[in-house]
Structure 1
């Protein structure tokens, strides 16, 4: 199979140019460590792809030479377009740990004899230290059609490590390694529900968050009791998906009142989950939202109350949202604008002044609400808001609305912004100018 086609199938982006440059350096006698970044999995797969895809055969090692090659030339032989050369190179490569990455690559070779020989070599040499070092490359190659064998072997070795050695992989630099280590840990029951919940709450990777949150909740459901260390961690997480999982679990835990504060969460998915839990126990979220929004001057009004009311209310509820546009807290004003947009009751005359709000979040929400009717907005007022002395949020909102008109007005505005100090405006203006350029039909 052609190397380029293989990369397209497995979805891995390889740096062929970098691999070719590394191969040239190796062929000229430069050591592997100096020719490429040996800690980067992409450097090894790039080297392999470059040699197989566009190297001229006369520069590559021959089959008869394999037994006497130095380390660099042996690396080229392991990537040779001829499967017989690749297979022969695996025998001396078994005694050279520095070439283990290319042995891993050959474990997914499209030629069966090469593939089987590489797997034998890897199984014989993959100890604990090698497994940890090669894990990023193994998982990268594992995305290929024939790459699962090396991943399975990696799992066998990692499962034999002491707990402290396995948990150290949770802090690995490579995201794929962290994800794999957590999957193994979940499968093996290595972590308690409380540990899983704390991980879901603190980890920044969404895959790890979801895996650990779902596993923690599955474990406590199976045990028949909700651990007091599990739900607080999930409910206090920064990630909305983790909080949503914790809120949903309040239903099975029989704690609907604990879901009430999350009716005004900053994330829509969390609010939706809270409404679900409250309804399951006979409550009416809409009644609570209306009570929150009843006093437009209440300084303790939760910012999420207005948009929450709109999400489960009806257009008549807009009467409670309009007064909130004058609330002293910017978050409440922004939520009110968002709620009016959700209810589809936006009024240009009343929302246009909010483009000058001192809080950027209110300005952004006002622009979003005004976008559907951008064509009817007063051009002069929007253009005036592009003045350099205006706040960045106001200028961006005005240009966004002008661009939504889709006529020549935005081109004139963009022409004056192509060299603007505001990078975002400058990029947007450049896009408009290119779109309206001579080539447009």
Structure 2
């Protein structure tokens, strides 16, 4: 049966159950013979297309025949088949499906088989059964099977639980890792590594929390602070306070994540430093200034004091520094349209993007002719698309005509973006 089914896919098992019941119940195939079940199993001579390879005559059914019986439309056959499912780990996922059966006798017997099989299930059996139990837990009467699974994982040997950490089913991985963390099966360094590298956001968050709680900064702070995702870096920066290493938060004042920057400011204040003074010192020398320093300054500075600095930095030679300065102006709700509008002509798409965001709240006050001119063929694509969107927000009567024109523009990038925004085929 493993050659026919993807046994680690929950959907494969639930689809198999539905397809067999539909095919047999609607007469698309004749009901398979089940002589090993006695009179309730008799029927036609042929069976399920992909799984039936031979006529069943043995006293003990093979896994394929047993699977067919477990999915039969007849509750009598399903219940009788469960008597043969004990000690047959290959069909335990279908037993899990039967544990939510509408027929109470079937459901009760399936739960009994599950309760007997799960405590001794090996890693391979759990890898096939756990995704099904977690998929159907949202069904009526599905919570009990998931509870049995979690109980098994809480007592399973590490060698049984560990393979589930790499399971492709997200719910299975999350549960296995959560249980392992609660059981303290990971060293602090391993928790930090999981937090830094795992592809699943929920897993990263749980692991980061557990790593910080382990209170082993020498082992955990390096991976946490070097993580690619902002929430994990933020957890590491926050942990610097507990470790008494406040000064190490200073480089994170200029992090790409706003959450990380906010955490860095808090940690530095807890250590007696003034983040505003550090930002102002950084912005005082444009040559050595970190690119995101202007935005950080806007987030915690004073408008009257720091606004001139941000305007000056909109002319910085580095595009990221210019876009950061414009983002800072937006954070301060600057509405000087006369000075903002020319920034739409910046050669860097990032700067134009931030400028358009800053102008969007005031779009109805923008000169329509200046926006329309920026949609012309002599302008770069990133300027034309932002000008078009501002023209839309402006409520201009020329927007529809301009959008239709740009939807047929020779520039493939611009044409794609405009057609996608209009809901046209790209």
Q: Unaligned regions of 5+ residues in structure 2, if any?
A: 48-55, 57-62
Among 414, 419, 423, which residue is 1:426 paired with?
419
Is 1:410–2:386 an aligned residue pair?
A: no
Is 1:283–2:273 an aligned residue pair?
A: yes
Answer yes or no: is the 8 Å Cα contact 2:93–2:128 preserved in 1: no
Question: Which residue of structure 2 aligns with residue 175 of structure 1?
Answer: 170
Shift of residue 406 of structure 1? 3.3
Q: State the alpha-carbon separation in 1 of the partners of residues 153 and 42 from structure 2.
A: 33
Answer yes or no: is the 8 Å Cα contact 1:123–1:153 preserved in 2: yes
Among 229, 234, 256, which residue is 1:244 paired with?
234
Question: Which residue of structure 2 aligns with residue 90 of structure 1?
Answer: 82
Question: Which residue of structure 2 aligns with residue 12 of structure 1?
Answer: none
Shift of residue 85 of structure 1? 4.5
Q: How many residues align?
A: 394
> Cα gap change, 1:168/1:385 in structure 2, threshold over 3 Å: closer, same or farther?
farther
Q: State the alpha-carbon separation in 2 of the partners of residues 389 and 125 from structure 1.
A: 72
The two structures have a TM-score, normalised by structure 1, of: 0.79
Question: Which residue of structure 1 aligns with residue 214 of structure 2?
Answer: 219
Question: Which residue of structure 2 aligns with residue 133 of structure 1?
Answer: 128
Instruction: Map 1:45-194; keep pairs closer than 5 Å.
Output: 45-48=14-17, 65-66=40-41, 75=67, 78-79=70-71, 83-94=75-86, 98-126=90-118, 127-128=121-122, 129-158=124-153, 163-164=158-159, 166-194=161-189
SS of the residue 1:300 aligns to: coil
Question: Which residue of structure 1 aligns with residue 289 of structure 2?
Answer: 301
Answer yes or no: is the 8 Å Cα contact 1:306–1:336 preserved in 2: yes
Report which stretch shifted further, 356-365 or 123-132: 123-132
Question: Which residue of structure 2 aligns with residue 42 of structure 1?
Answer: 11
Answer yes or no: is the 8 Å Cα contact 1:67–1:89 preserved in 2: no
Answer yes or no: is the 8 Å Cα contact 2:7–2:128 preserved in 1: no
Question: Which residue of structure 2 aligns with residue 383 of structure 1?
Answer: 372
Shift of residue 206 of structure 1? 0.8
Instruction: Map 1:331-370; keep pairs closer than 5 Å.
Output: 331-370=320-359
Question: Which residue of structure 1 aligns with residue 59 of structure 2?
Answer: none
Question: Which residue of structure 2 aligns with residue 314 of structure 1?
Answer: 302
Q: State the alpha-carbon separation in 2 of the partners of residues 172 and 360 from structure 1.
A: 40
Q: State the alpha-carbon separation in 1 of the partners of residues 6 and 220 from structure 2.
A: 42
> Cα gap change, 1:407/1:386 in structure 2, threshold over 3 Å: closer, same or farther?
closer
Answer yes or no: is the 8 Å Cα contact 2:8–2:131 preserved in 1: no
Q: State the alpha-carbon separation in 2 of the partners of residues 387 and 135 from structure 1.
A: 58
> Cα gap change, 1:50/1:247 in structure 2, threshold over 3 Å: closer, same or farther?
same
Question: Which residue of structure 2 aligns with residue 24 of structure 1?
Answer: none
Answer yes or no: is the 8 Å Cα contact 1:234–1:245 preserved in 2: yes
Shift of residue 374 of structure 1? 1.2
Q: State the alpha-carbon separation in 2 of the partners of residues 82 and 391 from structure 1.
A: 67
Question: Which residue of structure 2 aligns with residue 396 of structure 1?
Answer: 385
**Greater Rg by CA:** 2
SS of the residue 1:134 aligns to: helix
Shift of residue 313 of structure 1? 2.0
The two structures have a TM-score, normalised by structure 2, of: 0.82
Shift of residue 57 of structure 1? 6.2
Answer yes or no: is the 8 Å Cα contact 1:418–1:427 preserved in 2: no
Shift of residue 33 of structure 1? 6.2
User: Deviation digits for residues 327-367 of structure 1, max 9, x if unmatched?
Assistant: 11111111110110111113222222222222221111011
SS of the residue 1:242 aligns to: helix
Shift of residue 113 of structure 1? 2.9
Answer yes or no: is the 8 Å Cα contact 1:251–1:277 preserved in 2: yes
Q: State the alpha-carbon separation in 2 of the partners of residues 86 and 419 from structure 1.
A: 61
Answer yes or no: is the 8 Å Cα contact 2:195–2:205 preserved in 1: yes
